[in-house]
C-alpha cells in the first residue's frame, strides 16, 4: 500500500485547492487558506477534487470553516463518494440545542434542597422496607439455624470484628488518656481529683466506648458491605442469585447482620477496657493516683448495668450499620461511580443513625439507671 | 510486499506459572482484516492482552509500526495507543456518561480542537454506527448491541490506523451481528482501517476475515494461518476442520496431533 501523501493546500483567487490526505493536525492550514480566499474574493470555493481523504476531525474543521463568513461552496472528488457523505452527515446532524435558560440561583438552590429532602425521605422509606425484609430473613435463620450459612457469618466476623480490634483498642486507650487528663486538670483546681474515675467510667462505658466502636465499624464495614453488594449488582450477580431462587436477604444480608451483632458487643467491651486503662495510666502519671485507688473508685460508682447497657447499644448499632451498608449497596443501579456514592452514603447514613439512636437510648438510660449514692 | 502494521515475534506468555502461549509469530498488514480464532480457552484473549500492552509477554516481542511496544519504557506503547482503537467485549462504556460523552472522551483528551468541531466529529462517529439519535442516552438505557456500536464509535473517534475487537459479536442476535460485520467491512473499506478481531463466531469469520490466525490450547499457539476458505476447505488438521465444520473433536485426533 502506498504511503498516504502529504497534504498540499494552495489558494488561487477565491479557490482553495486541497491535494492529498488531510490530517487533523493540518486542518488549521485549511482554515487559514479559506480565510485568505474570502479576503480576495466574494465567492469562495473549496476544491477537494484532488483530496484523497480526511480524518473526521479534519473534515469537521473544514466543514465548520465553510460555514463561517461567506459560505464557501465545496467541489468533491469525482468517483469517491466518502467525503461528500461525511459533509452531508455534518449538515444533517444539527448542532446541539441550546440548553434551556437556567433558573435563578435562589430558585435553583431551593429546588435542590427540596429534591434532597424528597430523596432522603425515599432513602428512609426504602431502608425501612429493607430492614423489614432483613428481619424476616434473620428470623428464618434463627428458627432454622441448620440452613443458615454460618461460614459467611464467620468470614464477616473476622473481617468486621477481629481485624477491627487493634484500631478500636488503640483509639479508645488514647481517648481514655485524654479524657482522664482533661477531667483531672479541671478537678485538680478544686482538689477533687478523686472523682476523675467517676467521670471517666461513666463517659467511657455510657458513650465513648460504644460510639467509638460503632463509628469505626461503620467506617470499616458499612462501606465494605455497600461496595460488595453494589459491585455485585453492577455485575448482575445479585440478579443471578435471585433467579437461581436464592433469598438474597438470607444469603447476602443476614450473615452480615448476624456477624456484626455478635462482634459488636465484644468490640465495645474491648473499647471500655482500653478506655478505662488509659484513665488508669494517666491517673497514676498525672494525678499520682495509685491503681488500686482508681480501681476501687470505679468499683464503687459503676454498676454492672453500665456495661450491659453499652452492650445493648452495641446490638442496636450493629443492626443499623449492617442494614444501612447492605441497603446502600442494593440501591446501586448504574456503574462504578454509583458504587462510590453508595459507600459514602453507607458510612454517612449509618454514623448519623447510630448517633441518633445513641441519643435516644442514652436519654432513656438516664431515666432508668438506679442512682448510686456514695 | 505489503507493509506490516503489527508484528508478533516468538511471543510466549500465560498466567502465574501456567503457560498458555509459546512461539506465537504472525503479522498484520496495513488495511487487512485479521481474525484470531480458536476454541474457548485457546489463549485468544490472553494474546489480545499482550497485543494491547495490558500485560508484558514472558518472551518475544509485539511490534507496532516497526517498533517494539515495550522497547523504551512505555513510550512506544503510549504512542501506539494513540493510533489504535479497541472495542471491548461489553463495549466498556463509562456508565455515568452519555453515548456522545463517551465518544467525546478520547477526542477531548488527545486533541486541542474547539468544542463545535469535537461535537461534529463525535456525532459523525455515532452517525456512522447508526446511533446519532441516541447521543444523549446513557449506556444502560440502550441495548447490548447498541452499547457495542457506541463502543466502536468511541474506538474510531481518533481515526485510528488499527482497531482491535474482542469478541464483537458475543451476545448479539444474528441480525445485529451481521450488521456489525457489515459495519466493520464498510469502515475497513472507506477508512482503510486495519482490523484485528478476536472471535470464534464462524459466520463472522467467513464474512469479514481476509486472513485467519488459528490458535489451539493443545499446541499452546498457532496451528494454522490462511484465508477462512482455505482453512475450511483444504486444512487436514482435525482441530481446524472440526472448528470450521462445527463438529465435536474426537479425543484420539487430539492425541494423534499432539
Which CATH number fits the domain that encloses residue A16?
3.30.750.24
Are B120 and A93 inside 8 Å of each other by CB? yes
* pLDDT tens-digit map of B168-225: 887 788 888 888 898 889 888 877 889 999 988 888 888 899 999 988 888 888 888 8
Are A57 and B159 inside 8 Å of each other by CB? yes
Determine the residue of chain B that is closest to A87 in CA distance: B124
Are B120 and A337 inside 8 Å of each other by CB? no
- Grid coordinates of A200: 471517666
Higher pLDDT: B80 or A358? It is A358
Give yes or no for B92 touching A (CB within 8 A).
no
Q: Are residues A212 and A321 in the same domain?
A: yes
Q: Are residues A26 and A127 in the same domain?
A: no
Q: Are residues A64 and A129 in the same domain?
A: no
The answer to whether residue B63 scores a pLDDT higher than 50 is yes
Q: Are residues A28 and A81 in the same domain?
A: yes
Distances in Å between the Cα of B161 and the Cα atoms of A155, A173, A245, B72, B74 are 50, 63, 48, 21, 19
Give yes or no for A328 touching B (CB within 8 A).
no
Rg (CA), chain A: 35
Provide the pLDDT for residue A110: 92
Q: Confirm whether A159 is domain-assigned.
A: yes
Provide the pLDDT for residue B257: 52
Provide the pLDDT for residue B250: 63
A59 chain-B contacts, CB cut-off 8 A: 124
Cβ-nearest to A55 among B94, B123, B159: B159
Q: Confirm whether A173 is domain-assigned.
A: yes
Provide the pLDDT for residue A99: 65
Provide the pLDDT for residue A1: 42
Q: Are residues A192 and A277 in the same domain?
A: yes
Provide the pLDDT for residue A356: 96
Provide the pLDDT for residue A242: 81
Q: How confident is the model at residue B256 (pLDDT cuts 50, 70, 90)?
A: low
Q: Are residues A82 and A125 in the same domain?
A: no
A340 burial class (0-12, 13-18, 19+ CB within 10 angstroms)?
Answer: middle
Q: Pairing relation of β-strands A45-54 and A15-22? A: parallel
Q: Which strands, in side-by-side order, build the sheet including B211-216?
A: B84-87, B162-166, B194-198, B33-37, B211-216, B221-226
Q: Are residues A182 and A314 in the same domain?
A: yes
Q: What percentage of chain B carries pLDDT values higher than 90?
A: 12
Query: Measured between CA atoms, how close is A29 to chain B, in angstroms?
Result: 14
Q: Confirm whether A80 is domain-assigned.
A: yes
Task: Give the residue from B1, B118, B120 with the most A CB atoms within 10 Å of its CB, the best one to mutate.
Answer: B120
Provide the pLDDT for residue B99: 92
Which candidate, A297, A317, A321, places its Cα nearest to that of A357? A317
Give yes or no for B54 touching A (CB within 8 A).
no
Q: Confirm whether A221 is domain-assigned.
A: yes
Sorted by sequence, the CB contacts under 8 Å of residue A339 that are 6+ apart come out as A226, A227, A230, A231, A234, A332
Q: Are residues A144 and A87 in the same domain?
A: no
Are A93 and B124 inside 8 Å of each other by CB? yes
Q: Are residues A87 and A153 in the same domain?
A: no
Question: Structurally, how many domains does chain A consist of?
Answer: 2
Q: Are residues A138 and A64 in the same domain?
A: no
Q: Are residues A171 and A302 in the same domain?
A: yes
Q: Which of A92, A108, A135 is the last residue of a domain?
A: A92
Provide the pLDDT for residue A292: 93
Q: Are residues A51 and A164 in the same domain?
A: no
- Using alpha carbons only, give the angle A24, A26, A31 rounded to the nearest 5 degrees: 100
* Boundaries of domain holding A224: 121-368
Q: Pairing relation of β-strands B194-198 and B162-166? A: parallel
Give yes or no for B140 touching A (CB within 8 A).
yes
Least confident interval from A24-28, A339-343, B46-50, B152-156: A24-28
- What ipTM does the predicted assembly reach? 0.73
* pLDDT tens-digit map of A16-35: 888 888 888 888 888 888 88
Q: Which of residues 158-217 of B touch A (CB under 8 A)?
A: 158-159, 190-192
Give yes or no for B136 touching A (CB within 8 A).
no
Mean pLDDT by 10 residues, chain A (374 residues): 64 84 84 84 83 85 79 79 84 72 83 92 92 87 82 92 95 95 92 90 92 95 95 85 82 92 95 95 90 92 90 94 95 85 94 95 87 71
Q: Confirm whether A110 is domain-assigned.
A: no
A56 chain-B contacts, CB cut-off 8 A: 121, 124-125, 159
Higher pLDDT: A275 or B71? It is A275
Q: Which of A92, A112, A134 is the last residue of a domain?
A: A92
Q: Confirm whether A78 is domain-assigned.
A: yes
Provide the pLDDT for residue A216: 96
Cβ-nearest to B190 among A82, A334, A338: A82
Q: Which of A92, A113, A132 is the last residue of a domain?
A: A92
How far apart, in whole angstroms, are the C-alpha atoms of residue A351 and residue B252? 65
Task: Give the residue from A4, A27, A53, A60 with the most B CB atoms within 10 Å of its CB, the best one to mutate.
Answer: A60
How far apart, in whole angstroms, are the C-alpha atoms of residue B124 and residue A61? 12
Q: Confirm whether A165 is domain-assigned.
A: yes
Provide the pLDDT for residue A214: 96
Q: Confirm whether A112 is domain-assigned.
A: no
Query: Measured between CA atoms, how close is A96 to chain B, in angstroms?
Result: 8
The average pLDDT across B5-28 equals 88
Query: Measured between CA atoms, how close is A244 to chain B, in angstroms?
Result: 21
The average pLDDT across B113-137 equals 88
Query: Measured between CA atoms, how close is A333 to chain B, in angstroms?
Result: 9
CB A214 within 8 A of CB A264: yes
Amino acid at each position: 500500500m502506498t504511503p498516504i501523501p502529504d497534504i498540499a493546500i494552495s489558494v488561487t483567487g477565491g479557490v482553495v485547492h486541497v491535494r492529498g490526505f488531510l490530517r487533523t493536525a493540518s486542518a488549521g492550514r485549511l482554515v487559514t487558506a479559506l480565510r485568505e480566499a474570502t479576503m480576495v474574493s466574494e465567492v469562495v470555493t473549496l476544491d477537494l477534487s484532488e483530496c484523497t481523504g480526511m480524518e473526521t476531525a479534519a473534515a469537521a474543521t473544514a466543514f465548520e470553516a465553510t460555514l463561517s463568513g461567506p459560505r464557501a461552496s465545496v467541489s468533491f472528488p469525482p468517483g469517491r463518494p466518502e467525503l461528500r457523505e461525511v459533509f452531508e452527515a455534518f449538515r444533517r446532524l444539527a448542532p446541539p440545542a441550546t440548553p434551556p435558560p437556567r433558573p435563578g440561583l435562589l430558585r435553583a438552590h431551593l429546588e435542590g434542597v427540596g429534591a434532597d429532602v424528597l430523596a432522603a425521605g425515599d432513602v428512609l422509606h426504602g431502608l425501612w422496607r429493607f430492614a423489614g425484609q432483613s428481619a424476616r430473613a434473620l428470623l428464618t435463620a434463627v428458627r432454622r439455624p441448620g440452613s443458615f450459612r454460618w461460614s459467611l457469618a464467620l468470614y464477616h466476623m473476622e473481617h468486621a470484628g477481629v481485624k477491627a480490634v487493634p484500631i478500636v483498642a488503640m483509639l479508645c486507650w488514647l481517648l481514655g488518656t485524654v479524657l482522664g487528663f482533661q477531667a483531672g486538670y479541671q478537678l485538680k483546681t478544686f482538689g477533687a481529683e478523686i472523682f476523675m474515675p467517676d467521670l471517666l467510667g461513666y463517659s467511657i462505658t455510657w458513650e465513648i466506648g460504644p460510639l467509638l466502636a460503632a463509628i469505626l465499624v461503620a467506617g470499616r464495614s458499612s462501606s465494605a458491605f455497600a461496595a460488595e453488594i453494589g459491585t455485585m449488582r453492577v455485575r448482575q450477580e445479585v440478579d443471578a442469585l435471585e433467579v437461581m431462587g436464592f433469598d438474597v436477604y438470607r444469603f447476602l444480608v443476614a450473615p452480615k447482620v448476624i456477624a456484626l451483632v455478635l462482634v459488636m458487643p465484644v468490640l465495645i467491651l474491648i473499647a471500655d477496657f482500653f478506655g478505662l486503662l488509659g484513665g488508669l495510666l494517666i491517673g497514676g502519671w498525672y494525678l499520682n493516683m495509685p491503681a488500686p485507688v482508681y480501681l476501687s473508685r470505679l468499683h464503687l460508682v459503676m454498676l454492672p448495668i453500665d456495661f450491659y447497657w453499652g452492650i445493648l447499644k452495641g446490638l442496636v448499632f450493629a443492626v443499623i450499620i449492617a442494614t444501612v451498608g447492605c441497603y446502600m449497596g442494593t440501591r446501586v443501579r448504574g456503574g462504578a461511580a454509583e458504587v462510590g456514592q453508595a459507600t459514602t452514603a453507607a458510612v454517612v447514613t449509618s454514623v448519623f443513625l447510630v448517633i441518633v439512636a445513641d441519643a435516644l437510648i442514652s436519654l432513656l438510660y438516664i431515666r432508668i439507671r438506679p442512682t448510686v449514692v456514695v | 510486499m505489503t507493509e506490516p502494521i503489527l508484528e508478533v515475534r516468538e511471543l510466549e506468555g500465560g498466567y502465574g506459572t501456567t503457560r498458555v502461549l509459546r512461539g506465537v509469530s504472525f503479522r498484520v498488514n496495513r488495511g487487512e482484516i485479521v481474525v484470531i480464532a480458536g476454541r474457548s480457552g485457546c489463549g485468544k484473549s490472553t494474546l489480545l492482552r499482550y497485543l494491547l500492552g495490558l500485560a508484558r509477554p514472558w518472551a518475544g516481542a509485539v511490534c507496532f509500526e516497526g517498533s517494539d511496544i515495550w522497547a523504551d519504557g512505555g513510550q512506544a506503547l503510549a504512542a501506539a495507543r494513540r493510533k489504535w482503537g479497541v472495542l471491548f467485549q461489553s463495549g466498556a462504556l463509562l456508565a455515568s456518561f452519555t453515548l456522545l460523552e463517551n465518544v467525546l472522551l478520547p477526542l477531548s483528551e488527545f486533541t486541542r480542537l474547539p468544542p463545535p468541531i469535537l461535537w461534529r466529529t463525535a456525532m459523525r462517529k455515532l452517525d456512522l454506527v447508526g446511533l446519532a439519535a441516541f447521543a444523549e442516552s446513557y449506556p444502560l438505557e440502550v441495548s447490548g448491541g447498541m452499547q457495542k456500536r457506541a463502543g466502536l464509535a468511541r474506538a474510531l473517534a481518533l481515526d485510528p490506523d488499527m482497531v482491535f475487537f474482542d469478541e464483537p459479536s458475543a451476545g448479539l442476535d444474528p441480525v445485529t451481528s451481521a450488521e456489525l460485520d457489515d459495519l466493520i467491512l464498510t469502515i475497513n473499506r472507506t477508512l482503510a482501517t486495519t482490523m484485528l478481531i478476536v472471535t470464534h463466531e464462524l459466520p463472522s469469520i467467513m464474512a469479514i476475515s481476509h486472513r485467519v490466525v488459528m490458535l489451539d490450547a493443545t499446541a499452546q499457539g498457532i496451528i494454522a494461518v490462511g484465508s477462512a476458505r482455505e482453512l475450511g476447505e483444504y486444512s487436514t488438521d482435525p482441530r481446524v476442520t472440526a472448528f470450521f465444520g462445527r463438529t465435536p473433536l474426537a479425543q484420539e485426533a487430539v492425541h494423534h496431533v499432539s
